[in-house]
């Protein structure tokens, strides 16, 4: 018997970013990497991230959220998933604000409408050893990395930012002209990224609008990635391509990202959707260690 047998869950999405939310506060049990992979194996429950709500890490603190990728690895941040967690925890509650803890630190969430939330994603990390990179680069607005022939690279000189996860952003003329499904795995696992990286193609439409396609570390091609949208706006501001407040358009829809000058925090605003509720079928965990 697995401790997750018959546990309730929410199947949600944030802008098409497929999310499973499971609230294990007070249950005395936890998700494991093997259990996360087993849940993703169910066609109905395939997810980009699984958000595990746990008891506070310290007495009296906010709930702790552990974030699982579909391959069973852990993520440091997931903005779209955090909005889903905020909806789940505030459903039927009077307050419109809450704070959750993650391995990245506290994330403050605000309900702006029934299905719209903002998340304070904190401050970007911009130094090469904070991202982290294998090699020292003192200007992370563009590092030496390319795909293709040395004299005619297909992709080159990405900006790199850590927004809870490592991100590499390639600014291109047309995001549809590059086979991200082919290049994404190579770049995610490039030796220059010791912790792997999320890979983004970014097309600047205007100083307040950018179009993205994202290969997400541990999940693959995704319809949306909130931390990638945040990282892209930060990179665009640093490269003087974007304003501090911009719309990021992804295949799943739009996010509004603001990199505040007042405190250096990045605020992400967007929608969530509840697809269905259910309980985990014990058959999912057959053969999964308890």
Q: Is 281 exposed, middle or buried (0-12, 13-18, 19+ CB in 10 A)?
A: middle
Enter the tokens of residue 234: 């930060």
How crowded is residue 233: how many other Cβ atoms within 10 Å of its Cβ? 33
How crowded is residue 45: how many other Cβ atoms within 10 Å of its Cβ? 20
Q: How far apart are CA 155 and CA 265, in angstroms?
A: 29
Active-site residue among 78, 84, 109, 230? 78
- The yes-or-no answer on residue 225 being catalytic is yes
Tracing tokens 């925890």 back to the chain, one arrives at 89
CA distances from 35 to 3, 24, 29, 50, 67 (A): 10, 14, 12, 11, 13
Q: How far apart are CA 208 and CA 70, in angstroms?
A: 32
Q: Provide the residue count of the chain.
A: 290
Active-site residue among 84, 109, 225, 230? 225
Three-state DSSP string of 21-81: EEECCCCCCCCCHHHHHHHHCCCCCCCCEEEEEECCCCCCCCCEEEEEECCCCEECCCHHH
**Is residue 184 classed as helix, strand or coil in its secondary structure?**
helix
Q: Which 8-state DSSP code applies to residue 125?
A: B
- Positions annotated as catalytic residues are 78, 225
């Amino acid at each position: 018997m697995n401790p997750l047998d018959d546990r309730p869950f929410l199947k949600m999405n944030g802008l098409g970013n497929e999310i499973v939310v499971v609230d294990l506060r007070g249950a005395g049990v936890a998700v494991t990497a093997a259990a996360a992979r087993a849940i993703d194996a169910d066609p109905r429950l395939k997810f980009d991230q699984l958000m595990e709500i746990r008891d506070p890490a310290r007495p009296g603190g906010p709930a702790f959220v552990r974030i699982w990728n579909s391959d069973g690895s852990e993520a440091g941040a997931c903005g779209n998933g955090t909005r889903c967690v905020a909806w789940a925890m505030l459903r039927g509650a009077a307050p419109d604000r809450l704070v959750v803890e993650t391995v990245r630190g506290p994330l403050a969430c605000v309900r702006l409408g029934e299905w719209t939330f903002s998340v304070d994603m904190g401050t970007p990390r911009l130094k090469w050893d904070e991202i982290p990179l294998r090699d020292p680069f003192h200007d992370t607005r563009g590092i030496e990395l390319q795909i293709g022939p040395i004299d005619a690279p297909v992709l080159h000189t990405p900006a790199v930012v850590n927004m809870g996860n490592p991100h590499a952003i390639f600014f291109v003329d047309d995001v549809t002209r590059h086979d991200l499904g082919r290049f994404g795995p190579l770049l995610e696992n490039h030796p220059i990224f010791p912790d792997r990286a999320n890979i983004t193609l970014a097309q600047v439409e205007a100083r307040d609008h950018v179009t993205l396609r994202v290969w997400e570390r541990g999940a693959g091609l995704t319809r949306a990635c909130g931390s990638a949208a945040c990282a892209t706006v930060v990179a665009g501001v640093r490269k003087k391509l974007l304003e501090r407040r911009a719309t990021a358009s992804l295949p799943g829809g739009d996010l509004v990202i603001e990199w505040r000058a007042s405190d250096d925090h990045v605020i992400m605003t967007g929608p969530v959707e509840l697809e269905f509720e259910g309980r985990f079928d014990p058959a999912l965990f057959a053969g999964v260690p308890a």
